[in-house]
Amino acid sequence: MGDYDDLCSFSERKALNEANLHEETRYTLDEIYQQRVNNLVKEIKFMEGKLIGLIEGNHFGAFQSGITTTK
């Protein structure tokens, strides 16, 4: 079925972490991740309280804070 929160693969996250990106670019990525999370939450809201373990997968985004989009 794939990952519901399909953002970055392991190799893509590694490349982004190793890249010499401007701080503002990293904040922009955080904003994109947050918007994607918000959209997914709206989409599955009708199932609230009835799901366990749906979101965790291999393709997720990692915020600058260290929190991932699947947490």
* Listed residue (16, 25, 21, 1) closest to 68, CA to CA: 16
* Listed residue (32, 41, 38, 18) closest to 61, CA to CA: 32
**Average pLDDT rounded to a whole number, residues 27-42:** 91
Residue 3: pLDDT above 70? no
Whether the Cβ atoms of residue 68 and residue 60 lie closer than 8 Å to each other: yes
Domain ranges within the chain, ordered by starting residue? 1-71
Q: What is the pTM of this model?
A: 0.73
56 vs 8, residue with greater confidence: 8
